[in-house]
Amino acid sequence: MAAVDYQNILAHFQQSVDSANSANASRYNQLTTELGGLQQSSDTAYADMLAKQTQLGGLEKTKIQRGLTQENANIDQSLISSGLSNTTMRPSAQREAATQAGFAEQDVDTNLANQRNAIQQQQINSNINLAGVKGDAIANMSNEGPDLGTYASLITAAAEGGAGSGGLSFDQQMLLQGKNPDGTPRQYKLVNGKWQVY
């Protein structure tokens, strides 16, 4: 029976493992890069939402101030029409209008604060979800290929199955268990049907 080049077979298996690990690392890097881009896009979107919300709040306050100016003009016109423009009613009416405008601005501030809190909570939840996906990717990444001792065991089983009743020759067993290419001893131990290096 022709000798089997176990070193070549194991080297081929190791090359396959290294190639699979490299592809796995590449997929992992691609995933983390995409998640990083998604995180950046998410942060930008939430920052835009907060900026627009602040801008809309400013517009609402501008409308309130314009309304106050108009209300003061209406007060003046009404008092002039009634012949009461020189009475104490004008300052009193304008104070009341300013008070109501202040309440309206406080309502705007309250609504803005509530909306801002809701947006920030959504961002926190989004970041937690993205962190979970990234954590899962890290936890599921494995660069460990099968043990070469397992390959040696499979080779032994294949040789025994293909060599008839004789199984592996002594020389083949020695090649598998005994020597490295440089002549130094390679120590294997057969434990529960599997080769282990020791």
Burial environment of residue 7 by CB neighbours within 10 A (0 to 12, 13 to 18, 19 or more): middle
DSSP string, 101-156: HHHHHHHHHHHHHHHHHHHHHHHHHHHHHHHHHHHHHHHH-------HHHHHHHHH
Query: From CA 180, how far away is CA 165, in angstroms rounded?
Result: 28
pLDDT of residue 171: 47
Query: Does residue 123 share a domain with residue 85?
Result: yes
Query: Does residue 79 share a domain with residue 161?
Result: no
Query: Does residue 70 share a domain with residue 38?
Result: yes
With respect to residue 37, please indicate whether it lies within any of the assigned structural domains.
yes
Q: Which domain holds residue 84?
A: 33-140
Asked whether 17 and 146 are in contact (CB, 8 A), the reply is yes
- How big is the CA angle at 191 (ends 185 and 196), to the nearest 5 degrees? 40
Query: Does residue 98 share a domain with residue 129?
Result: yes
Query: Does residue 89 share a domain with residue 50?
Result: yes
Q: Does the pTM of the predicted model rise above 0.85?
A: no
pLDDT of residue 177: 47
Query: Does residue 122 share a domain with residue 61?
Result: yes
Q: How far is CA 26 from the centre of its chain?
A: 17
pLDDT in tens, the chain (198 residues): 455 566 677 777 777 777 777 877 788 888 888 888 888 888 898 899 999 999 999 999 999 999 999 999 999 899 888 888 777 888 899 999 999 999 999 999 999 999 999 989 988 888 888 888 887 877 776 655 555 666 666 666 655 554 443 444 444 454 454 444 455 565 545 455 554 544
- DSSP secondary structure code for residue 166 in this structure: G
Query: Does residue 157 share a domain with residue 134?
Result: no
- How big is the CA angle at 83 (ends 80 and 86), to the nearest 5 degrees? 80
With respect to residue 117, please indicate whether it lies within any of the assigned structural domains.
yes
What tokens were used for 94? Answer: 């304008």
With respect to residue 120, please indicate whether it lies within any of the assigned structural domains.
yes
With respect to residue 58, please indicate whether it lies within any of the assigned structural domains.
yes
pLDDT of residue 109: 93
With respect to residue 84, please indicate whether it lies within any of the assigned structural domains.
yes
Query: Does residue 163 share a domain with residue 100?
Result: no
With respect to residue 23, please indicate whether it lies within any of the assigned structural domains.
no
